[in-house]
Amino acid sequence: MKKIKIESSLLTHTEHGEERIENQTEGHCEVGEHGVRLTFDELEGNRHTVWVIADGLAECRRSGDVTSRFVFVPQRMLEAPYAIHGQTLPMQLYTHALSLKLSPKGGRCEIRYTLLQGGQAVADNHLELRFTFL
């Protein structure tokens, strides 16, 4: 397991306009034959996040004050359980595109997806995760 610096950038488009959310923290990375596993604590709130990313698949699990499990598979609509303050919201997500690029210094994952609630689109998102080995 290697220590990493991880940076995330989420560009989200909703009915209220466009917003960019950026974060940076440190965590750990395990590199496997088919992909990576990233673990880190988010700076906002009390949240622990685990990403498992391989070519053609990504999963994000969060625990803490927000609990969620998002699975990203290109061209697939999947349930996306999301709970905050004890209230579960029935969400779905449709993944438009997913890419993972690794290098000797780290890697980058990009995901384009639509978040839906009750079958209605609530946000079109472009997420970029960049990690650098320390």
- Record the pTM: 0.93
Q: For residue 1, which of 32, 24, 42, 43 has the smallest C-alpha distance?
A: 32
What is the distance between the alpha carbons of residues 41 and 51, in angstroms, rounded to a whole number?
Answer: 12
> Assign residue 17 a region: left if phi > 0, alpha if psi is -120 to 50, beta otherwise?
left
pLDDT digits (tens, 9 = 90+) for 64-76: 888 999 999 999 9
Mean pLDDT value across the chain:
94
If one counts the domains in the chain, the total is: 1
Q: What residue numbers bound the domain in which 105 lies? A: 2-133
Domain with 58 in it: what CATH number? 2.40.128.20
DSSP H stretches of helix in the chain = none
